[in-house]
Each structure stands twice: as structure tokens, then as C-alpha cells.
Amino acid sequence: MDPRAATTVYARWAPIYDQTFGAITQAARRAACRRVEGPEGGTVLEVGVGTGLSLPLLPRHMKVTGVDYSAEMLAQAKRRVARMQLPHIAALQRMDARKLEFADGSFDRVVAMHMISVVPEPQRVMREMVRVLKPGGQLIMSNHFARKQGPLAHLSRRTAKFADRIGWHSDFDISVVLDTPGLRLVERRALPPVGMMTLLVLERTEEAIAPCPANTAAQPQG
């Protein structure tokens, strides 16, 4: 997705996201959050926290940091945390997912829900999420991925050309995730609605992760 288009689209989505796309993806979001497990005081990073719909669902015994590039989305998330009084939320920060401002191996768990198909340079974002994850830690994702056949495949192809308008790539290939170095697939299953979404649980291996090329231009991600 074009970075400028992503910024514009998500500024427009922010006021109505919870009642629209957020509602459609809520079952998948709940399933992903149930897979986030870890020790007391363990650290969780949610990349693409959006309006914060997941924040009340994440484990209260862990410390959660959320990042997003959209200032409008983050404003909604911060209001949610204040309104619901969520003490396990350690920080909400505006950040480019292609250049996460955390040291290597900073988090026990990384969560990415319905965001990898909307960001510019998704391969770069994947490598960054792996980099900040501790070896043996888990990356938990829920997302819509392209289907090879059937009605969903036809729908994905028809809507793909509207990616810059609707804010996500309906034809996003799951291989972008599964082929990322340093990850081992633990679980993959279909999620509602009608199996449209997919849950992925991946474990960070000991494999060395090559650093991403320097990105001097801080372009927005969605």
C-alpha cells in the first residue's frame, strides 16, 4: 500500500473503525488474544494497535506496549485505556513498524492483528517484528490472506484493486509471513467470519536475523 494513501485512509477510518472493520474482525481478534500467554510481568508488543480494541483482551498479568503510525487511531486507543482503566498497558507510542524503536529481543510476545496486509513494505515489517522478539518467544497474528480457489478467492481478486481506498490488500499472500527468516510455524487455523480470517502462531528461532537496510526517510505506515 502507498504510504500516503495509508495515512489518509486510516485517519478517515479512525472515528468509525470500531463499528465497521473492527466489528468484523472482533472474533479473530479475541482468538488471537487468547493465544497470548506468558509469565507474570512478561512483555507484549502489539504492532498496529489501532484504536485499541485488543487492549482489554490481552493478559492483565503482562505488560503491554502498543504502537501505530496513525495519530488518529492512537488517540482513540489512549482514550480507551483511560476510560477502561487498563493498568497492564505500559505505553502507547506512534511508531513506524518498518523501523521499530526497540532493542533486539525486547519482548516475550509480539502481536499483529489485521495489520500486515495494510503496511507498506510488509517484508520489512515482518523482519522488524522478529528482531524485537526474544528467541523462543511467539509472534501471534490474525489476518485475511489470499485464497487460491473458491468464492473467497474470487472476492479477493475483485477487491484487490481498491486497496488504497479501503485500507487493506485482500489478495495478500501468506507466504510473506511464513517465509520470514527466524520463524517456525506452531499453529495455523481458520477463524470467523466464515473462515475468512487466519490465526498464525509462530515461534522465534535462534536463526540470525539480518538487519534491515537503513531507512532514512520516515515514511508513514498504515
The rounded percent of the chain whose pLDDT value lies above 70 is 74
Tell me the per-residue pLDDT of 52-73, one tens digit each, with 9 for 90 and over: 999 999 999 999 999 999 999 9
pLDDT band at 206 (very low <50, low <70, confident <90, very high): confident
C-beta of residue 146 within 8 angstroms of C-beta of residue 214: no
Mean pLDDT of 67-87: 96
At 219 the pLDDT is 37
Strands (E), the chain: 43-47, 63-68, 89-94, 107-113, 133-144, 183-191, 197-204
Taking Cα atoms as reference points, which of 56, 31, 46, 33 lies closest to residue 198? Answer: 31
Identify the CATH number of the domain defined by range 3-204: 3.40.50.150
Listed by start position, the domains of the chain span 3-204
At 151 the pLDDT is 55
H, E, C per residue of 71-83: HHHHHHHHHHHHH
Half-sphere CA count of 192, side-chain side, radius 13 A: 9
Cα–Cα dist 60/88, whole Å? 5
Tell me the per-residue pLDDT of 148-168, one tens digit each, with 9 for 90 and over: 755 554 445 544 444 444 445
pLDDT band at 147 (very low <50, low <70, confident <90, very high): confident
At 207 the pLDDT is 76
At 193 the pLDDT is 84
